[in-house]
Structure 1
Amino acid sequence: PAQSEQGQSGTNECGTGTNQTSQCQNVYINSVTDFCLWAPPDPTFQGVPSTIGETERIEVAWCIRSGYGTRLIPNGAITGAHFVQTPDYVQVTGVGDMTQLNIPAGDEGGELDPHGADGNGNPIGGLVFGSSFGALQQYHEWTNFMDYQSFCFRACKDAPEAPLFCNHVYDLLGCDWNMPGNYDAGTFENCVGDSTEPMGIYVNGGTTSTFSQGDPTTPDAHPAGSSSDCSQLPTISNAAA
């Protein structure tokens, strides 16, 4: 269908070209040279700068690869990116100049996910796809943090544990806490790794506890799952899919 949720600002029927004014709301995550991010469609929204908080309902897809009918991430905007596939999810973390994706300088950003306050998603109708676990599939659980100089995106394999590994309730705690990983500039790599323990869930002496955002004390983030079998590239650039 052209749209998957009522009130959607963009479209899920995106074609196969590329267009810097595209309203496509389909994201793909497959590798460090084939991933997308959510970001604002315009530099301003209703007369104010397009912070993630102001535009979370209307973000559009910006991708490294063409061929998805989306906008392209400008070459040079991503200055470091790290893709890892684990048994439970795929994840890309990195840094760059996200002002080239219409995020205002200084915006500390926010979190996008398929639920939102009303269940329609942030952005409304935004869909995420990938083929890391076999045939192309839709990921029904995912979470993406964006700010003006960094990003992290995790999409979880459909499974009973997917809502835990892609938990979206810790929206004030950012990338480093929710998605520990490599955020180094100047490095571009694909890795295979172990899954990091689900955010907010802690096991101590056989007892499991769940942290709630707003509790008096915020626990440390889990250590990132170990990575292996990494292959590095000198850089990445937008190219045909």
Structure 2
Amino acid sequence: MDVINGTNVDGTLLQVWGCEIPAAVNQQFEYTAYGDNHLAWSTTGKCVDLPGGNMTNGTQIQVWDCNGAEDGNNQIWDTGYMYNATPTTSEPNQSGHNACGTTSSQTSTCQTLWMNDADDFCLWAPPKTGTIGDTERDEVAWCTKGGHGTRLIPDGTLTGVHFVRTPDYVQVTGVGDFTKINVAAGDGGGELDPHGADSYGNPIGGLVYGNTFSPNLQYHEWTNFISDGLFCMRACTGPNARENCQHVYDEMGCYWNMPANYDAGYYESCEGDNDLPMGVYGTSTWSQGVSPTPSAHPVASSSSCTSFASITSAPTAGAQGRLSSGARRSRHVPGKGFW
């Protein structure tokens, strides 16, 4: 990638050019840290910019002042991997692996997770018995369906599952006995996300994919809480992905971060509206630890639900049924731990 003639002017287009070694200044770019996520033209104050945010085929990219008039989502660039070309590991000091193949194993150390539907999703959980706080860097993927190269969630683990697709994210919530996937008995749980304090993620190198919005899409923003008896997982896309998948409210648990249906004894997949972004109340944003603590947002409406008799590692489509349009259960059952 090359800035045409090295011209340091807003609106200068980029091109491909033979790589110059050592790199000429017009070919020197660096990816900035999480929270900024810009592709910066080194030492110039310019960033790679998509004019007008235009996603039409053939739109040419340009350089523009970083955080300048053309900024917004026009300068946010996520890096990632094709689902079928994941590396062995994606971060330094990763305990597991991302190139997982398709063979399930209860000793798998796969750290690539999928979220597709109520009968095809995964959760992060310990590779061996431990608390989430002690094992958050090393969690592995446990899935309801084979074919992902992960561990399988044992039949009887999940006692309630509620999946919802909204315009901007997919979410699954529910209850169960997660000591069966190595969460220590009595553990109040914790939060997992792709960033962590060092931007390597919890677990380190954890990747998330799904087929809801497009085939084999990598989700760059996601958040997951799990304890010994309760879980919630959300994977976000679109321009508001960060707001919808906030990871700074790690002490607030599932009910506050992801108000939803957590009823035991029900297994369903629904369409729904977006929840209000966690922590945002009108024009104000609450910071964790500041008193008073605001209430959770109301549960967003959902409809067009498909019910399942149960969710097992080999679910059968014949067990499905339809709930009436507009049906929504939103009662919260008491969870364990601080949730």
TM normalised by structure 2 equals: 0.67
1:167-186 equivalences in 2 (<5 Å): 167-186=246-265
Shift of 1:135: 1.5
CA distance in structure 2 between the aligned counterparts of 1:216 and 1:231, rounded to whole angstroms: 40
Residue in 1 that maps onto 2:309 = 234
The equivalent position to 2:210 in structure 1, one of 123, 130, 153, is 130
1:8-19 equivalences in 2 (<5 Å): 8-19=94-105
The equivalent position to 1:191 in structure 2, one of 261, 266, 270, is 270
1:107-186 equivalences in 2 (<5 Å): 107-157=187-237, 159-186=238-265
Q: Do residues 5 (structure 1) and 91 (structure 2) align?
A: yes
Residue in 2 that maps onto 1:86 = 166
CA distance in structure 2 between the aligned counterparts of 1:61 and 1:234, rounded to whole angstroms: 24
1:154 is paired with a residue whose SS is: strand
Shift of 1:239: 2.2
Q: Do residues 42 (structure 1) and 128 (structure 2) align?
A: yes
Residue in 2 that maps onto 1:72 = 152
Shift of 1:236: 1.2
Residue in 1 that maps onto 2:115 = 29
CA distance in structure 2 between the aligned counterparts of 1:176 and 1:117, rounded to whole angstroms: 23
1:100 is paired with a residue whose SS is: helix
CA distance in structure 2 between the aligned counterparts of 1:23 and 1:135, rounded to whole angstroms: 24
Shift of 1:42: 0.6
CA distance in structure 1 between the aligned counterparts of 2:311 and 2:124, rounded to whole angstroms: 18
CA distance in structure 2 between the aligned counterparts of 1:115 and 1:25, rounded to whole angstroms: 14
CA distance in structure 1 between the aligned counterparts of 2:168 and 2:297, rounded to whole angstroms: 16
Larger radius of gyration: 2
Matched residue type, 2:194: P
The equivalent position to 2:289 in structure 1, one of 201, 214, 228, is 214
Where is the strand percentage greater, Structure 1 or Structure 2? 1
How many residues are matched?
Answer: 230
The equivalent position to 1:223 in structure 2, one of 295, 298, 322, is 298
Moved >2 Å (runs of 4+): none
CA distance in structure 1 between the aligned counterparts of 2:162 and 2:103, rounded to whole angstroms: 26
CA distance in structure 2 between the aligned counterparts of 1:229 and 1:58, rounded to whole angstroms: 37
Matched residue type, 1:183: Y
CA distance in structure 2 between the aligned counterparts of 1:201 and 1:36, rounded to whole angstroms: 28
